[in-house]
Amino acid sequence: MTVFEAEDIGFMGQAEDLHWELVTVMRHGITPPAACVVCTGGGGSRMATRIYHERMPNTTVVAVNSDPNSIRGVEADRRILIGNTVTKGKDAGGFPEVGERCAELSSEEIKDAMMGSDVVYVVTTLGGGTGTGVAPYVAKLAREDGRVVVSVVVKPFSFEDRPTEDVERAIETIRSYSHSTVVLENDYFMSVPDMTVERAFDAMDRQVISTIRETTQRMDMDFLFSMEEIIPELLEEASRLFDSDRERKDDVPLTVEEGVRTEDAGETEGAGSEAVEVAVAE
């Protein structure tokens, strides 16, 4: 971090210049928030592989699934197989309650995977039991651990004929734990001529990725703008302190140390000037 000394930046009367100087430093020094993308269920885990290949800066990708066969081919920073004792090596069979139970039993491992992240993206498809049951639970764990929670969920195609109440209940719970929830629908792409299920998945996965990217970028900009707003206040406060410090210095008689003359004190480098500063502070 750059530390500005009052004399480096010509403090008095140049507040406007300093404002822009600080903004420039921040623009160059800013790093994206540490993000963890937790993808749940079979559809979510397939997305995990694609998100992982994007190599987003400062972002780890975690896949959570109950189906050992499906998770095996997933590429991610971390893969968490849940519920082995519950499903006995199978998936959640379309039951969200089963998915949730599996997640509860692995809560420590899921929390550990999110450790150190500022923002958690919960990514899921809502057409089966694992994603629909696990995603709300992950959002809850992330929120309770003080993370910023952004959820991106995908509703199943209408022709999959999933129980609407399961899907809506999951969205409601996810919303209650998330700072922001983006709901996408697989059906959206089916209105495009010559669309196939695979191509619709592909388009949807790209949509999820760009939602994550844009959200992360906007978080940086929000931070930057909020800093821009508070800089004038910081400057005013610093300039008040500087003024009162200068008045105090004027009141205190300078002590001459080791041959440094009083009138030279401000310009003298090295041990002599340090001695003067100490004397003034006392």
Ligand X SMILES: Nc1nc2c(ncn2[C@@H]2O[C@H](COP(=O)(O)OP(=O)(O)OP(=O)(O)O)[C@@H](O)[C@H]2O)c(=O)[nH]1
* Structure token pair of residue 203: 């388009």
Contact with ligand X (CB under 6 A) among 156, 167, 170, 178: 156
Choose from ligand X, Mg ion, none: what does 139 bind? Cβ within 5-8 Å by kind.
none
- Report, in Å, the least distance between residue 59 CB and ligand X: 19
Q: Is 66 an interacting residue with respect to ligand X (CB under 6 A)?
A: yes
Q: Is 91 an interacting residue with respect to Mg ion (CB under 5 A)?
A: yes
Q: Do the Cβ atoms of 55 and 143 come closer than 8 Å?
A: no
Residue 127, CA distances (Å) to 12, 35, 184, 189, 221 in order? 63, 25, 12, 16, 34
* Structure token pair of residue 206: 């790209």
Site for Mg ion in 45-84 (CB under 5 A): 67
- Report, in Å, the least distance between residue 112 CB and ligand X: 22
Q: Is 129 an interacting residue with respect to ligand X (CB under 6 A)?
A: yes
Contact with Mg ion (CB under 5 A) among 42, 44, 99, 156: 42
Choose from Mg ion, ligand X, none: what does 129 bind? Cβ within 5-8 Å by kind.
ligand X
**DSSP letter assigned to residue 106:** T
Q: Do the Cβ atoms of 178 and 122 come closer than 8 Å?
A: yes
Task: Return the exposure string of 189-213: e unless at least 16 CB atoms fall within 10 Å of the residue's CB, then b.
Answer: beeeeeeeeeebbeebbeebbebbe
Q: Do the Cβ atoms of 15 and 239 come closer than 8 Å?
A: yes
- Report, in Å, the least distance between residue 190 CB and ligand X: 11
Site for ligand X in 171-230 (CB under 6 A): 186, 201, 204-205
Q: Which is nearer to ligand X, 18 or 81 (CB)?
A: 81
Element (H, E) at 29: helix 15-29
What pairing do the DSSP bridges indicate for beta strands 119-125 and 78-81?
A: unpaired
Contact with ligand X (CB under 6 A) among 9, 94, 235, 238: 94
- Report, in Å, the least distance between residue 105 CB and ligand X: 15
CA distance 101 to 83: 8
Q: Is 131 an interacting residue with respect to Mg ion (CB under 5 A)?
A: no
- Report, in Å, the least distance between residue 196 CB and ligand X: 13
- Report, in Å, the least distance between residue 193 CB and ligand X: 20
Give the CB-nearest residue to Mg ion: 42
Q: Which is nearer to ligand X, 117 or 130 (CB)?
A: 130
- Report, in Å, the least distance between residue 192 CB and ligand X: 15
Q: Which is nearer to ligand X, 86 or 227 (CB)?
A: 86
Q: Do the Cβ atoms of 87 and 66 come closer than 8 Å?
A: yes
CA distance 96 to 116: 28
- Quick one: which of 220, 156, 201, 205 has its CA closest to 52? 205
Instruction: Summarize as ranges the residues that interact with Mg ion (CB under 5 A).
Output: 42, 67, 91, 128
Q: Which residues bind ligand X (CB under 6 A)?
A: 41-43, 46-47, 66-67, 91-94, 125, 127-131, 154, 156-157, 160, 186, 201, 204-205
